[in-house]
Structure 1
Amino acid sequence: MSVKLLSMTSVIAIAATSATAEMNFNRSSSFATFANNVDPSAESSSEIISASADGMTLAYSDSPLGVVGFIDITDPTAPAAKGNINVGGEPTAVSIWGDVAMVGVNTSESYTAPSGMLKAYDIKSMSEVASCDLGGQPDSTAIAPDGSFITIAIENERDEDAGDGRTGQLPAGYVVTLEIADGLPVCDSMVKVDVTGLADISPEDPEPEFVDVNAAGEIVVTLQENNHIVVLNKDGDILNHFSAGAVDLDGIDATDERAALVFNESQMGRLREPDGVQWIDGDHFAIANEGDMDGGARGWTIFNKDGSEVFEAGNSFEYAIIQSGHYPDKRSDAKGAEPEGMEFATFNGTPYVFILAERASMVGVYDVTDPSAPVLKQMLPSGIAPEGAIAIPSRGLFVTANEADLVEDGGVRSHVMIYEYQDAPASYPQLTSAGADQLIGWGAISGMVAGDDGMVYAVNDSFYGYQPTIFAIDTNVQPAQITSALPVTRGGHAAQKLDMEGITRDGEGGFWVASEGRTDRMVPHGLYHVNSMGEITEEVALPAELLAVEKRFGFEGVTLIGNTLWMAVQREWGDDPENHVKLVAYSLESKEWGAVLYPKASPDTGWVGLSEIVAHDGFVYVVERDNQIGEAAKIKMVYRIPADQMVPAALGSELPVVTKEAVRDLIPDLKSNNGYVVDKVEGLAIFDDGTAWVSTDNDGVDDSSGETFFWSIGQL
C-alpha cells in the first residue's frame, strides 16, 4: 500500500499548532551511565530500559560492557547509581516483572551460528535466578500485562557486510514465548513460532525486530527488513499478518549532497521497515518506521490489527524536528531522522504515544485519544541516539535510554534521561521556527546581535557551508520564534567559503559579519558587509601583520563601537602571550587595524577561548568558555571590559592588556535544563535596555544531541 502525504502547508500548520499546545512533560534529571562503571573511562551505553513494579528502580541494557545497569530513582530529580550485573554476553533487551529483570542475551559466535539466552535476575539481591536457552540471537522482549508470559523476538540478524548486505542470510529468525510462574520464566514451556513464508521480502529469512503484548495476550511483532507485521497469540497461532506498506514522500531532503537544509525533494514508495511497535488498545498498534535496509519512511503509523491503516504521520514528525533545530542533515540524507523506539502509556486518562527519533535525538509526544487523528503535544530533547523508553504513569515519569557514548572523542557520554508529567509549561524547545510562513530549517547558531522591538539576528556557522543564513528571532514570544531566514549571497548565489561566527548591525539596515578562517579548508579570515537583502557588498581581508601570526582559531564575534569594528579572536595566535588573546579593531573610516590583549583563564583540560563580543552602555561584554562537556565543564562565563580601555595599539607593537569583571556564570543556567552541560555557548545579544539573551551552538546535530538553548539572563 502507498500513502500520499499532507501538503506542506498542512504539515507546517500542524507543527505550528503543536508548538502552542499545552505541554506537560519536562526533563527533571539525567544519569550518565559511566557512573555505574568500575572504570568510568570505559565505553558504556544505555539502550533498552525497564522499571521495577514500584517504579523506583530502572534497569538498562549496556551492550559495550556486557552488563545490565541499575539506577535508583526514588528521587527522580537525583538518580543514583546501583551498579551493574555482568550477563555473560551482549544484553539486547530487558523487561522487569515485579523485582525480576528478564534479559535477552546474545551469545552468538557468528551471524551464521546465532545463539542466545533469556536470563533472569533478582534486582534486590542482584543475583541470577533463571537461565533459558533460546536457540538464537534475541532482540526485543515483552512481558504480557498480566505477567503470565514473556515473548522474545529472535532476530538472527543479517551481516550487513556480507554480499550486498541484504536479507536472505540464513538461519531465519523466529518468535518465542515462555510462561512465567512465581515471577520466573519457565524454560521448558518455550514455544517457538515459525514466521517464515509470510513476507513478500525474503520470506525464507524473517528478522523479527520488536514485540509487544496487549491485555488480551495478543503479540504483535515487526519483521523490519522484511517490511512485515505479524499478530499471534502466546500459543504460537498466527492470527494475522500483512505488509507494513510504503509511503510517498514530498518536501524532504533526500540527497547526500550538501551541508544545507533544503527540503524540496520527493521519494515514492518508501518502505516503512518498522522497528518499534506498541499496542495502543486491544485493536490498534503503532509502529516507528526506521527504514533500516531499503526504507526511509521517516514517520510512524497506526494500524488496526486486521491490517487496515488508521493513521500515517508522513513527514509531519520530521517537520516538527526540523522546526526544533534537530534535523540531522549530515547523517540523514536517505533516511531522515529515523524513528526507531517508542513507548505507549496513559497519564491522567490521556493515552500517549512517544516516538523516538534516533538521529535527531528527540521524542515526539502524541495524544492518541483518537487513533485516527493523533495530536502532537510536544517535542522532548533527549541524549544522543535515544534507543529505548519506559513510562511509569504511577509516578508521572517517562524515561529515555540514549545509546551513543562518545568517550573516545572526549564528547558526550551515554545518558538515561528522566521526565516528569507536570502542570507546567514546556521548558523545551527554547527556540523554534514553528509558526513561520514557510518551513525553516536551522541549526549551528553562532553569533548574535540585538535589533529593535525584541528582535535578535543570528548567523549559522560553516556546518551549513552551502547555506550561510541570517535568522531573525522574535524574543517577544515563548519559545522564541525564528520568523525569517535571509540567505547570505555573493553575486546572487549562496556565498561560499564563509564560517560566520559573529554579526553586528551596521546602523543602515545591514550587517557586518565576522568569518573565522580555516586555511586547511581554504576559508579565509575576514569581515563581510552584508546589505538588508543578504548580498555581500564589501569584503575586508586581514592585514599582513595578522596573517603572519594567524591560526585556525579566528574571529568569534564582532561588535561596532562608533566607527570601529571589534572582533574577538578565539584563542592565542602566534605572537600572543600564553592565556591572552587579541581583541582586534578595524576602523571603518581610516581602514587601520589595531588590537588589545584580553587575559583569559588557564584551562585545566582542553582549551579556553572567546566566543562572542558585544558593546553596550560603556562596556564590552565577552563570552569566555572552555570546550568541556558535562561535569568536566568549568568555564562558561560572561565578562565585561570598560569601554575606555578599548584603545587599540598598532599591530606588531606591545599591546595593552584590558581588565575584566565577571558578570554571569552560565553553568547554573545550563544545568537548569536538567540534561548535561553543553559545550558551545556562542551567542550573546544585548538590547538597549540591557536585557541580554544567550544561545548555544548545537554543532548541526553532528555528535550532538541537537539541543539549542536560547534564554534571557535578564538586564545587565
Structure 2
Amino acid sequence: MRLQLMTSTLALLAAMPAHAEMVFNRVASIATPLNMAEGEDQARATSAEIISVSEDGMTLIYTDSPLKSVGLIDLTDPTQPKPLGNIAMGGEPTTAQIIGGMAFVGVNTSESKANPSGKLVTVDLASRASVAECDLGGQPDSVAKAKDGSFLAVAIENERDEELNDGVIPQMPAGFVVKLPVKDGAVDCAGLVKIELTGLAAIGAEDPEPEYVDINSKGEIVVTLQENNHIVVIGTDNAVSTHFSAGSVVLEGIDTKKDGALRFDGKAEALREPDGVKWLGDDLIVVANEGDYEGGSRGWTIFDVAGTVVYESGASFEQAIVALGHYPDARNKKGIEPESIEIAEFDGKPLVFVSSERASVIGVYDVTDPAAPVLLQILPSGVSPEGMVAIPARNLLVSANEVDLREDGLAPAHVMVYARSEGVAAYPMIEADQGIGWGAMSGLVAGTEPGQLFAVSDSVYGATPMIYTIDAGQTPAKITKAMLVTRDGVAAQKLDLEGIALDGQGGFWLASEGRSDRLIPHAIYHVDAEGAIDQEIALPEDLLRNEVRFGFEGITVVGDTLWLAVQREWKDDPVGMVKLLAYNTKEETWGAVHYPLDAPAEGSWVGLSEIVAAGDWVYLIERDNQVAGKAAVKKITRVALSQMVPAELGGALPVVTKETVRDLLPDLDVLKGYRAEKIEGLAVDGAGKAWVVTDNDGVADNSGETLFWSVDIQP
C-alpha cells in the first residue's frame, strides 16, 4: 500500500488557469550556522538580522550579532542559496549596506549603554576583508544609502538600559544621526556630519533614540525615534526640515490579555512608536508600529511629510494574521509587533512589505492607491523576521529571521527566499473565518459529511479548550467554527487535548495528555454536541503508578473500544515499546498492546502523535522530536486491525507488527521552510482520503506555520 501526496498546493498548480495571478512563494531557506567555517563550533548561537543585497542582486549580506560578524550568501540560484562564510566585525554589527563592491557595516562597540561607541566598517566583498573604519561617536543602529550612492546616513541610537530605573527615559547620552559622504567607493570619514535631534519630541525630548533611517531620491533622510514616538525628516542641508509626533491609534477587536485564551473583543489606545521606516516615493513615509517603550499599535501607517495620516491599518493586519493561526498570545502586550518595512516596485506595481516579529510572517500590500492599500498575501517566514530586502529586477524577496532556538533543541536562524511568479499562493494551507483565533492544532478526526473535519487545540490555549470545525473542501481549508469545551457551563480547565474521535451520536470522545506536575490528569472525556463534558474516564491505578508526562496522543473508536496512543514509554514499558491502550466502554475494562518504535538518533526520542482506525487498519503517526535539518522520523504507519487484541494490564503485552506507509519528510519540505517538529493530527474520511496537520505550538518558539495536506489511501 502507498499513500500518495495530494497537497492542496500541488492540486491547484495542476489546475492553474492560463493567466494566473502573480504571487510570492518561498523557494528556499538557508540556516545561518552553515556560514561557519569547517572546524568552528557550530553549536554557538547565530542570527540573521538586517539583510541587504549587492547591486547585481546576486550576493546577500546579513548582520549576525551573536557571532559579531556579517554573513554572505550566494544568491545566483535563488532556489539553492549557498553559504559564502562570515566576516568578523570586531563588535556587534547592526546594519550593512552595499555600494558597488563595498559593504558598509554599522558596528556597535559599546562597553556599556552609559558609554556607547561604534564604528562604520568598510568590507571589500571581492576579498571579503575589512579595508577601512570610521568612528561614529556612538552606538549605531540602522544604516541607509542614498539612491545614487553618494552618501550614507546612520542612526546613532545610544539605546536606553531597560534594567535601569525601569527603562524610563531620559537616559543620556542622547542619540543623533550622522551623514557620511561616499566617494569612489570609500567613506570620507573627515566629512562626517553630526545631526542633532534633541528638543523635538514631546516624549523624552532631551534623549532621542533614533531607530531606522531611509533616504529618498531627493537626498532627504527620514528617521524614526521609536521610544519618543516621533518621526523626523532631515533636509539636504543637513538640518531638520520637519518633524511630528507619530500619534496613537484606537484599536478595536484585539486580544488584550496574555492568558492562554484567544479573545478578540478588546479595545485599547496605543502610541504607534514606529520602528522600521521607508519612503514611498519622495513625499510619503511608511512606518511599522512595533512599540518598545509604552506603546505599539500593532499595525502600520502611511504619513505625508507634514505628519498627516494617509493610511492607518489599525488592527486589520493583526486580524488577518489571526485567521492564519499566527497570533502570539504568549507575548501579547504589543500583539504581532510589526518590525520592519520594505518597499519596491514589481512590474510597475508599488508593493509594501510589513514584517511581524512575533507572528513570524510578512504582509504584502499593493499601495497603488496609498490611501487604500490592498493586502495581497501573508507570507510565512522563519522565527522572528527582523530584516527584508526586495530584489524586483529578479522578482525576489528575502527575509532575515533572527532567532536561534537550538539551545532548546529547536530551529536555528534562517534566511528565506521568495520568488514572484504566476501561480497560486502555497500558504496558507488552512485558515479561519474572521474572528476565530486558533493555533496549536492537535488531534484530528473526519466528520460524517464530505470534507468535514474536527480538530482540537492543545494546552497552549488551556484557558479556552476548543473543538474546531474544518471545511477541507475549500482551498485553503477553512475553520468555520470554534466550539468551547465546557464543564458545568464554563470553560473546562486542566485539559491538554491531544485526540478527538466521533461518538456516532453527535458528540465526541477527547483524549487529554496529563501533566501531574501541573495537576492535569491523564483522562478520557466525553462531550455532547455542544462541547459540554458529561463523562470523565480516569486511568486505573495500574497505569498511573507508572506514568510519565508524555501521555495520550490521539484517540479512535473501534466498536465498543476506545483506542489511545501513548506517546512515549512509561516506566513499565521496555525500551522502544509504547502502549496502545484499549478501554471498553461497555465493560469498563482496560487493556493494551505494545507498539515498536523506531530507534531514535542520539540525543532525540521517537514517539507516537496520533491514532485512527479506518477499514481493516489502524493508522498512526510516528515521529521524532527533532526539527529543521535534524528531523529524521516523521511518518504514517499502520497496524492490521486483526492484531489489535488487547491483553490485561500488568502482564506481558502482545507486540503488534507495524508497516510504514508514508515517509512524511518530503511533505514537510513543500513550503521550502525548515521542517516542522510536530506532525500531530491524522484523519481518514469515508472516501479513503487522509488529512494531516502540524502543530505550530501557538507560535511560541515556532514560526507559527501550520501545514495541512491530504493523501489518498490506495489498496
For residues 419-458 of structure 1, the aligned pairs below 5 Å read: 419-433=418-432, 436=433, 438-451=434-447, 452-458=449-455
- Residue in structure 2 matching 1:689, options 675, 679, 687: 687
Corresponding residue for residue 699 of structure 1: 697
Corresponding residue for residue 300 of structure 2: 300
Matched-pair contact (CA < 8 Å) for 1:581–1:597: yes
- Residue in structure 1 matching 2:673, options 666, 672, 675: 675
The answer to whether structure 1 residue 322 and structure 2 residue 319 are counterparts is no
The answer to whether structure 1 residue 658 and structure 2 residue 660 are counterparts is no
Q: Distance in 2 between matches of 1:112 and 1:448?
A: 54
Q: Secondary structure at the match of 2:165?
A: coil
Q: Secondary structure at the match of 2:237?
A: coil
Q: Secondary structure at the match of 1:508?
A: coil
The aligned amino acid for 1:305 is V
Q: Distance in 2 between matches of 1:713 and 1:407?
A: 32
Q: Secondary structure at the match of 1:523?
A: coil
Corresponding residue for residue 115 of structure 1: 117
Matched-pair contact (CA < 8 Å) for 1:139–1:209: yes
Matched-pair contact (CA < 8 Å) for 1:23–1:377: no
- Residue in structure 1 matching 2:612, options 608, 611, 614: 614
Matched-pair contact (CA < 8 Å) for 1:382–1:402: yes
Q: Deviations over 1:255-313 (max 9, x none)?
A: 23x11111222112x11000000111111121000110000211100001121110000
Corresponding residue for residue 396 of structure 1: 395
- Cα deviation for residue 23 of structure 1 reads 6.2
Corresponding residue for residue 166 of structure 2: 164
Q: Distance in 1 between matches of 2:57 and 2:21?
A: 26
Q: Distance in 2 between matches of 1:233 and 1:405?
A: 39
Q: Deviations over 1:407-426 (max 9, x none)?
A: 21111100001100121111
Matched-pair contact (CA < 8 Å) for 2:679–2:693: yes
For residues 518-533 of structure 1, the aligned pairs below 5 Å read: 518-533=515-530
Q: Secondary structure at the match of 2:107?
A: strand
Q: Deviations over 1:58-83 (max 9, x none)?
A: 00000001000001111111111100
Q: Distance in 2 between matches of 1:241 and 1:674?
A: 43
For residues 165-314 of structure 1, the aligned pairs below 5 Å read: 165-256=167-258, 258-268=259-269, 270-314=270-314
Q: Distance in 2 between matches of 1:39 and 1:702?
A: 27
The aligned amino acid for 1:659 is T
Off by >3 Å, runs of 4+ in structure 1: none
Matched-pair contact (CA < 8 Å) for 1:446–1:696: yes
- Residue in structure 1 matching 2:574, options 570, 574, 577: 577
Q: Distance in 2 between matches of 1:694 and 1:593?
A: 29
Q: Distance in 2 between matches of 1:184 and 1:46?
A: 26
- Cα deviation for residue 682 of structure 1 reads 0.4
Q: Distance in 2 between matches of 1:510 and 1:186?
A: 74
Matched-pair contact (CA < 8 Å) for 2:178–2:194: yes
Q: Distance in 2 between matches of 1:80 and 1:235?
A: 43
For residues 404-419 of structure 1, the aligned pairs below 5 Å read: 404-419=403-418
Q: Secondary structure at the match of 1:24?
A: strand
Matched-pair contact (CA < 8 Å) for 1:177–1:234: no
Q: Secondary structure at the match of 2:198?
A: coil
Q: Distance in 1 between matches of 2:272 and 2:314?
A: 11
Corresponding residue for residue 139 of structure 1: 141
Gaps of 5+ in 2: 1-19
Q: Secondary structure at the match of 1:294?
A: coil
The answer to whether structure 1 residue 515 and structure 2 residue 512 are counterparts is yes
Q: Distance in 2 between matches of 1:640 and 1:689?
A: 18
Matched-pair contact (CA < 8 Å) for 1:448–1:457: yes
Q: Distance in 2 between matches of 1:193 and 1:556?
A: 60
Q: Distance in 2 between matches of 1:253 and 1:389?
A: 27
The aligned amino acid for 1:64 is P
- Cα deviation for residue 373 of structure 1 reads 0.4
The aligned amino acid for 1:352 is L
Matched-pair contact (CA < 8 Å) for 2:213–2:223: yes
Corresponding residue for residue 566 of structure 1: 563
Corresponding residue for residue 459 of structure 1: 456
Q: Distance in 1 between matches of 2:549 and 2:158?
A: 48
Corresponding residue for residue 555 of structure 1: 552
**Percent identity over paired residues:** 58
Q: Secondary structure at the match of 1:520?
A: helix
CA RMSD of aligned residues (A): 1.1
- Cα deviation for residue 238 of structure 1 reads 1.4
Q: Deviations over 1:512-535 (max 9, x none)?
A: 001111100010011111111011
- Size of the aligned set, in residue pairs, is 690
Normalized against structure 2, the TM-score is what?
0.95
Q: Secondary structure at the match of 1:69?
A: strand
Matched-pair contact (CA < 8 Å) for 2:96–2:143: yes
Q: Deviations over 1:165-193 (max 9, x none)?
A: 12211111101111111122211111111
- Residue in structure 2 matching 1:591, options 588, 593, 609: 588
- Cα deviation for residue 543 of structure 1 reads 1.3
Corresponding residue for residue 497 of structure 2: 500
Q: Distance in 2 between matches of 1:627 and 1:222?
A: 42
Corresponding residue for residue 383 of structure 1: 382
The aligned amino acid for 2:594 is L
- Cα deviation for residue 129 of structure 1 reads 2.5
Normalized against structure 1, the TM-score is what?
0.95
- Cα deviation for residue 158 of structure 1 reads 0.7
Corresponding residue for residue 14 of structure 1: none
Q: Distance in 1 between matches of 2:242 and 2:223?
A: 11
Gaps of 5+ in 1: 1-20
Q: Deviations over 1:336-394 (max 9, x none)?
A: 11111111111111111111110111111111111100000011111111100000111
The answer to whether structure 1 residue 359 and structure 2 residue 358 are counterparts is yes
The aligned amino acid for 2:307 is G
Matched-pair contact (CA < 8 Å) for 2:290–2:338: yes
Matched-pair contact (CA < 8 Å) for 1:343–1:354: yes
Q: Distance in 1 between matches of 2:529 and 2:405?
A: 41
The aligned amino acid for 2:370 is P
